[in-house]
Amino acid sequence: MLSVLDITIVFLYAISLFALAQWVSQEESGYQKNAQDYFLAGKSLPWWAIGASLIAANISAEQIIGMSGSGYAIGLAIASYEWMAAITLILVGKFLLPIFLKRGIYTMPQFLEQRYDHKVRMVMAFFWLGVYIFVNLTSVLWLGALAMNTVAGLDIVLSMVLLGGFAVSYSLYGGLKAVAFTDIIQVLVLVLGGLMIAWVLLDTVAAGEGILKGFQLLTDRAPEKFDLILSPDNPHYMSLPGLSVLLGGMWIMNISYWGFNQYIIQRALAARNLREAQKGIAFAAFLKLLMPVIVVLPGIAIFVLSPTLTVPDQAYPEAMMLLPSGIKGLVFAALLAAIVSSLASMTNSIATIFTLDIYPSFSTESDISSNRVKVGRMVTILAMLMAMICAKPLLGNFDQAFQYIQEFTGFFTPGIVVIFLLGMFWKKTTSLGALAAAIASALLSFAFKMLWPELPFIDRVGIVFLLCIAIALIISIMAGNRDQTGSVPLRDIEFATSGGFNLAAALVTLILVALYATWW
């Protein structure tokens, strides 16, 4: 349970965050926020805010609790989701962001209408709303409430209400600007708290002899937890199938998440300019290299300290129970920082998609632009309420929520990546070919799941991706094999990157090579 000191630390964090959010959200007297101010922070975000906000939006309950649980059950191999994401971010910054920013994109469905047609935009907008509310938002709420229940003894339903209510309250007025600038504090608290819990756990494993001794004992006592590439005889091979992690379907998962996911890419779209966005992306890539220390290592340490847990997702809350008073409060504040920042980011992006992509098509108002901020705030509240109601029925029976999320989204990500990559880099892709790929992704994934259940889901993602490409190509060629009206003129896009970005890309790549060479 939390001590008075712990509760005080958490309370001060919450008050400080709320005050900061209101301060950065203030406008000059008489100025009325417009859609660009609310949903894209006035296109004014600097690189450090972009990088911090990318990580704060990404690292949440399903990352900290879910990946710690997978670290407990599987080991360091689950860190591939973090480390492969680092190189994916570099690719997104070099090849995808220049296209989005050149075309003035606010939302991912907006790009799809520019490239294909209104029908594709609407189909994908409704799809993303469903996924964000019933998969992403519910998972963050449920796992966050589980942590509060374990550590603070609060009722799970009450915990969800407190988390959701706080996330909405501090971000509702300022929109993305409030979220992004407070995320700087969130990431600082997250990294500091995460490093502290890793330090304390390693020192506990070593019986007070220091973190280096603790890490050595971890590798000695649980060597099977330090295989980055799992062999086919590993009991968790289905979750992380060997070299497919490096060469197969995980690339598709990562490109979809970091390149075409509204609540992630929205921060980069709000940059002052392309160079600022790319610097933010590079900053985020380096932070991703650090994340396994914060989200995976505690799970492995708890496996050594408490190897009899019945539910892997209890690993992180169990680790927190070992912390001394004061440090426990800071780590709990870090966990709350991760949860509420992701909740705020998701609800803001849900509101962005509904207000900018869906609302104009169904509204009869003569001046839609004047209502967008108001509508966005209403949608933010409604989305959170829906997630609170649905969280327990959807996620209450899963012992590794992170793996559940990956497998579910894997049904759709192949088609999403095909739609965008072909839309960007092949001028002959038709809207019918794009829609066919999207539908085929779900149908083929379900068919493989039912008819070939022993196929690892990451391999399934890779195979379905290739089949969806073939389907889109065939349909587009049959439609006339000609350049489409909305195709991207690549000659007009500036793909050249700065020397600093190139250096960052090289360093990230070298660090990844060293990590995989060490724990192959």
* pLDDT tens-digit readout, 60-116: 766 787 788 889 999 999 999 899 999 999 999 999 999 999 999 999 999 999 999
Total number of residues shown for the chain: 520
More confident residue, 30 or 57: 57
Question: Is 470 contained in some domain?
Answer: no
Contacts of 214 (CB under 8 A, 6+ apart): 201, 202, 203, 204, 205, 206, 301
More confident residue, 56 or 437: 437
pLDDT value of residue 467? 98
**How far is the C-alpha of 150 from the C-alpha of 35, rounded, in Å?**
40
Q: Is the pLDDT of residue 33 over 80?
A: no
Domain span holding position 145: 4-20+34-401
Q: Is the pLDDT of residue 31 over 70?
A: no
pLDDT value of residue 29? 65
Residue 270 has phi, psi (to 5 degrees) of -90, 10
pLDDT value of residue 175? 83
Q: What is the DSSP letter of 410?
A: T
Place 406 in a pLDDT band, splitting at 50, 70 and 90: low
Question: Is 106 contained in some domain?
Answer: yes
Question: Is 519 contained in some domain?
Answer: no
Mean pLDDT of the chain: 89
**How far is the C-alpha of 395 from the C-alpha of 74, rounded, in Å?**
20
Q: Is the pLDDT of residue 366 over 60?
A: no
- The number of folded domains in the chain is 1
pTM for the model stands at 0.91
**How far is the C-alpha of 272 from the C-alpha of 120, rounded, in Å?**
29
How many angstroms separate the Cα of 5 from the Cα of each of 145, 194, 325, 330, 334? 21, 19, 7, 10, 15
Residue 349's H or E segment, with its range, is helix 327-353
pLDDT value of residue 347? 93
Give the burial class of 513: count Cβ atoms within 10 A of its Cβ; 0-12 exposed, 13-18 middle, 19 or more buried: exposed
Alpha-helical regions (H) of 59-210: 61-73, 80-91, 97-102, 108-115, 118-131, 138-152, 156-171, 176-205
**How far is the C-alpha of 498 from the C-alpha of 500, rounded, in Å?**
5
pLDDT tens per residue across span 415-433: 999 999 999 999 999 999 9
Question: 38: closest CA among 55, 23, 47, 25?
Answer: 25
**How far is the C-alpha of 343 from the C-alpha of 357, rounded, in Å?**
21
138-161 residues labelled b (16+ CB within 10 A) or e (exposed): bbbbbbbbbbbbbbbebebeebbb
Quote the tokens at residue 229.
Answer: 């590439």
> Taking a C-beta distance cutoff of 8 angstroms, is the pair 80, 228 a contact?
yes
Quote the tokens at residue 516.
Answer: 């995989």
> Taking a C-beta distance cutoff of 8 angstroms, is the pair 237, 456 a contact?
yes
**How far is the C-alpha of 409 from the C-alpha of 442, rounded, in Å?**
10
**How far is the C-alpha of 69 from the C-alpha of 315, rounded, in Å?**
6
* CATH number, position 193: 1.20.1730.10
Mean pLDDT of 338-347: 88
Question: Is 498 contained in some domain?
Answer: no
Q: What is the four-CA torsion angle of 142, 148, 154, 155, rounded to 10 degrees?
A: 10
Question: Is 26 contained in some domain?
Answer: no
pLDDT tens per residue across span 155-188: 989 999 999 999 998 888 788 888 888 888 888 8
Question: Is 327 contained in some domain?
Answer: yes
**How far is the C-alpha of 356 from the C-alpha of 121, rounded, in Å?**
11
pLDDT value of residue 243? 87
- Residue identified by tokens 């790319």 is 278
pLDDT tens per residue across span 422-479: 999 999 999 999 999 999 999 999 999 999 999 998 999 999 999 999 999 999 999 9
**How far is the C-alpha of 460 from the C-alpha of 462, rounded, in Å?**
5
pLDDT value of residue 86? 96
Question: Is 415 contained in some domain?
Answer: no
> Taking a C-beta distance cutoff of 8 angstroms, is the pair 407, 457 a contact?
yes
Quote the tokens at residue 342.
Answer: 């992701």
- Residue identified by tokens 């704060």 is 56
> Taking a C-beta distance cutoff of 8 angstroms, is the pair 57, 263 a contact?
yes
Question: Is 287 contained in some domain?
Answer: yes
Place 329 in a pLDDT band, splitting at 50, 70 and 90: confident
Place 367 in a pLDDT band, splitting at 50, 70 and 90: low
Q: Is the pLDDT of residue 299 over 90?
A: yes
pLDDT value of residue 96? 97
Mean pLDDT of 395-400: 61
Quote the tokens at residue 252.
Answer: 């598709």
Mean pLDDT of 323-333: 86
Mean pLDDT of 482-499: 93
Place 216 in a pLDDT band, splitting at 50, 70 and 90: very high
Quote the tokens at residue 253.
Answer: 């998962």
- Residue identified by tokens 């190509």 is 473
70-106 residues labelled b (16+ CB within 10 A) or e (exposed): bbbbbbbbbbbbbbbbbbbbbbbbbbbbbbbbebebb
Q: What is the four-CA torsion angle of 455, 461, 463, 467, rounded to 10 degrees?
A: 140
Mean pLDDT of 375-392: 92
